[in-house]
Amino acid sequence: MNDPLLGADESQEQERSPEIRRRFELAETGFNEIPRKYRKFYRKWQGEGDTLAPNEVLCPVCMIVVRSSRELRVGDRVYCMPCMSRLMVAEEQGMLVAKVVY
């Protein structure tokens, strides 16, 4: 499957940190702007009151939530398919945020 989390292969990850990332079961979210097999990796941001899970970041370009089957960490690169942006996960005020990588 085409997880938006780019290039984090398991062996590399164990070298970087002893903690294994939590895995998440992704379910269909009703997001229908991209081909069906990728839909579970994205969902609409519900605005104020919505919260992001540890495997989710908000794309600052199109305001779609990008979801990975694994927990996201600062420094991860993710791909937002709906707007084709490459993003880097960063931390701001204790929250994970995505920044566009040019």
Q: Taking the complex as a whole, how short is the minimal distance between the CB of residue 12 and Zn ion, in angstroms?
A: 26
**If binding is defined by CB under 5 A, does position 61 make contact with Zn ion?**
yes
Comparing CB distances to Zn ion, the nearer of 83 and 88 is 83
Comparing CB distances to Zn ion, the nearer of 52 and 61 is 61
Nearest CA to 81 out of 48, 36, 27 is that of: 36
Element (H, E) at 5: strand 5-6
**If binding is defined by CB under 5 A, does position 78 make contact with Zn ion?**
no
**If binding is defined by CB under 5 A, does position 80 make contact with Zn ion?**
yes
2-25 core/surface letters (b: 16 or more CB in 10 A; e: else): ebbbeebeeeeeeeeeeeebeebe
Given the structure tokens 């089957």, which residue do they identify? 69
**If binding is defined by CB under 5 A, does position 98 make contact with Zn ion?**
no
Give contact residues for Zn ion (rule: CB under 5 A).
Answer: 59, 61-62, 80, 83, 85
